[in-house]
Amino acid sequence: MNETEITARVWYLVENGLQVVPLTPGKKHPDFKGWQSFGIGSIQELEGYVKRRYGFGVKPNGDWTYFDLDSDHEGGADGVTAFSEVVPKATAQPTVYARKPGSRNLHLFYRNNLHTEQRLTGNNAIAPGLEFSARDSQVRVEPAYVFGNLDYNRPFLEQLAPIPAEFEPALTPIAKPACYVNSKKRANNIAAYLAKCEPFQPGERSTSYRNLVYIMVVKWGMPYDEVKAAVDDWDLTNGDYQHAEPAQFEHATREPLTR
């Protein structure tokens, strides 16, 4: 891949709102202070880094997240195999990925439909060689890892699949629903809490309702019976999921402490 191609591909990420961080040649991680808030902002700046043979990483911004699959992890662990054991290839939904040339190592990019801020890396990894991160980290992209299944003429986020459902049990507990409000709500604030919610989008309603009920009951301590009744009423004028898909709605809004 020549300098022109690298520049065009990385600039696509900048134009799509991704925080692109320069990586010193030979480095896997940023080695300068304050990188967490730094992002390449101009094509001229990017061209300068490309000419000096820098690598590039991207930092999750809340809208997307990634799995880091290391096929040659220390001790012989294989993150690629570990991922496929959780999400069989036959049921895996296609998404954008980046592969290390000459290696099976993969970075899989997903839409952050769980609104999670979780980071499962190092000793807390999902499995040896299988890491997940939605915050406080960056993941290498081109030229060290080359994108696949990415159409550079379409928006980046539009091409990402949701986080595989098989991983939801590990990630949902600290996830935030789309209408998350960072203030403590008591039982008598249920209606006020729901009033701040926007209708959930088709295709994400099951996960969104599950997260909503979990946050209200477990995090804020609202009585489940009152939450369930209020959510049922709210849903009637916000998409009516309970009549469109009654079984899925009841499953998504069941008591979180008995799941």
Distance in angstroms (rounded) separating the CA atoms of residues 55 and 168: 32
Token duo for residue 247: 């079984």
43 with 148, same domain: the answer is: yes
Distance in angstroms (rounded) separating the CA atoms of residues 25 and 36: 19
pLDDT attached to residue 114 = 86
Percentage of the chain beyond pLDDT 90 is 56
Domain that holds residue 185: 176-258
Which among 146, 171, 196 is the end of a domain?
171
For 218-236, what is each residue's pLDDT tens digit? 777 788 888 999 999 999 9
199 with 146, same domain: the answer is: no
Burial bucket for residue 210 (CB in 10 Å: 0-12, 13-18, 19+): buried
Residue 186 has pLDDT above 60, yes or no: no
For 196-205, what is each residue's pLDDT tens digit? 888 888 777 8
For 81-134, what is each residue's pLDDT tens digit? 999 999 988 888 999 999 999 999 999 999 998 888 888 988 889 999 999 999
38 with 150, same domain: the answer is: yes
The mean pLDDT of 71-79, rounded to a whole number, is 86
Domain total in the chain? 2
Whole-structure pTM value:
0.67
198 with 128, same domain: the answer is: no
User: What's 199's DSSP letter?
Assistant: P
229 with 244, same domain: the answer is: yes
